[in-house]
Each structure stands twice: as C-alpha cells, then as structure tokens.
C-alpha cells in the first residue's frame, strides 16, 4: 500500500474569499418606503375634500363662462348706451358772497334735458338728487321727481336753487370769486346723483347709482344789470 502523501502544514489562516458578516434587518413601521401605511379614515377625508374642491372650481368656471356668453349676447342684441344729459339753460339772478360772515346768497334756475339714446331699453329714474356747488363746496340741493324715459325719448326738468348758505373760500378761491364777480360770469358745478333701472321687455334690472357732472358758466342777470355774456348749452359727463 503506497504511503499517504504528507499534507502541507496550515497555520490556521483562511485564504479564500472574504466572508461578510451577517447583519440584522429591522422593520420600522410608519417610516417611508414599502413599510409605510395610510390611515383609511385620513385617506378617505382627503379624497372627499379634493373632489369637493374640484367640483366647486368646475361649477365656478361653468357659471363664469355662462354669464360671459349671456353678457355678449345681451350686448349684441340690445346695444346698451349710457343715458345722456345736458343743461339747456341756466338763469342766475343773485350770487353774492358776504365779506363779513361768508354767507352766499343765491338764486339759480336750471333747465335740464334727460335723453335715452337706446332703441330697446327704457330707463326708470327712481331718484334724482341735484347738487349746486361752487369751488367744490355744496351750497344747495334739490330732490327732483322721478320719471320713466322710453326708447329714444327726452324729458325736460327744471330745478330752482334759492336761499343762503355758509361758504368759506380759501385765498385762491376768494380771488377767483372776485374775478368772476367783475365779469358777472360764475363757474358753478351741477352734480346729479341718480338711482336708475333699465327696462328690458317686461323685465327690470337692479338699481344702478350713476352720476352726472356739469361745469357751468352762468352769467348774472340781476335787476337793472344784464351781463353781456349768454349761457351756452352744456353737455354733462356721465360716470358710473
């Protein structure tokens, strides 16, 4: 029997591939990744809120588009125009500012013309408040009777402002008053505050509150003294 070959002497060291140490894996519930979980109640509430929000947005967008289309159709059918207004005549027989107590004594009569330029819209003038002003200070107010103005119609209205009112003018405005007094022509502003409604067939719109503003140059025509100037028909500005 042949002898067994002698094994080489080993010193206990390992010369093969390195062995990685085993690591323990831990499961942590509630963290990100595959181990995360969602509360069913929270997810359900979030989904419902998102659906309601999207539904509200869609409704608002639909309503906005519908109103825009209706407005465009209304515009093309009726072609609405703003009311027209002008002062046809004005008579001033007294306009005296007392130098001692700053009291203004006045007597002003105004003839006004309201016109409806629309072909398919009527206008209800529910309230007409006329304010006479001098250098941005109101010295008289008149409430005029309301009326209805049909298609392409006009209406003449008279207003009388008579009385006295405390009016305190600054240095610059006092100089303007003295200059106007020497010329016997006064710059008086007429401002109208309105409440109107439009009539479309058998329907009526809600009330609007527009304004008319008129810059008048009114000559003084007192007894025994007539100004060389004459009043000129004045067109007034319309403002919503």
- Gap between the Cα atoms of 106 and 162, Å rounded: 6
**Considering the entire predicted model, what is its pTM?**
0.70
Q: In terms of pLDDT, which residue wins out, 11 or 177?
A: 177
The answer to whether residues 104 and 95 touch, using CB atoms and an 8 Å cutoff, is yes
Rg of the Cα atoms in the chain: 43
pLDDT score at 32: 47
* pLDDT, tens only, 151-198: 999 999 999 999 999 999 988 999 999 999 999 999 999 999 999 999
Maximum Cα–Cα distance across the chain: 168
Summarised one tens digit per residue, pLDDT across range 60-115 is 998 888 888 776 776 666 668 899 999 999 999 999 999 999 999 999 999 999 99
């Amino acid at each position: 029997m042949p002898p067994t070959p002698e094994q080489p002497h080993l010193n206990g060291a390992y010369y093969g591939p390195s062995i990685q140490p085993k690591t323990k894996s831990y499961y942590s519930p509630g963290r990100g990744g595959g181990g995360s979980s969602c509360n069913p109640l929270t997810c359900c509430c979030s989904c419902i809120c998102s659906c309601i929000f999207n539904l509200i947005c869609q409704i608002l967008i639909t309503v906005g588009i519908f109103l825009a289309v209706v407005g465009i159709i209304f515009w093309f059918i009726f072609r609405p125009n703003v009311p027209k207004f002008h002062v046809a005549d004005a008579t001033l027989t007294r306009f005296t500012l007392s130098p001692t107590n700053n009291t203004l004594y006045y007597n002003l009569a105004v003839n006004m013309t309201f016109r409806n330029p629309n072909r398919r819209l009527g206008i209800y003038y529910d309230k007409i408040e006329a304010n006479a002003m001098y250098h941005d200070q109101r010295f008289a107010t008149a409430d005029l009777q309301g009326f209805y103005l049909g298609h392409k119609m006009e209406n003449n209205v008279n207003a009388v402002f008579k009385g006295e009112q405390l009016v305190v003018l600054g240095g610059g405005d006092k100089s303007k008053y003295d200059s106007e007094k020497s010329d016997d022509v006064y710059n008086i502003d007429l401002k109208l505050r309105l409440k109107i409604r439009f009539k479309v067939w058998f329907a009526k719109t809600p009330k609007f509150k527009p304004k008319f503003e008129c810059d008048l140059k009114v000559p003084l025509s007192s007894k025994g003294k007539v100004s060389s100037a004459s009043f000129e028909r004045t067109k007034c500005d319309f403002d919503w």
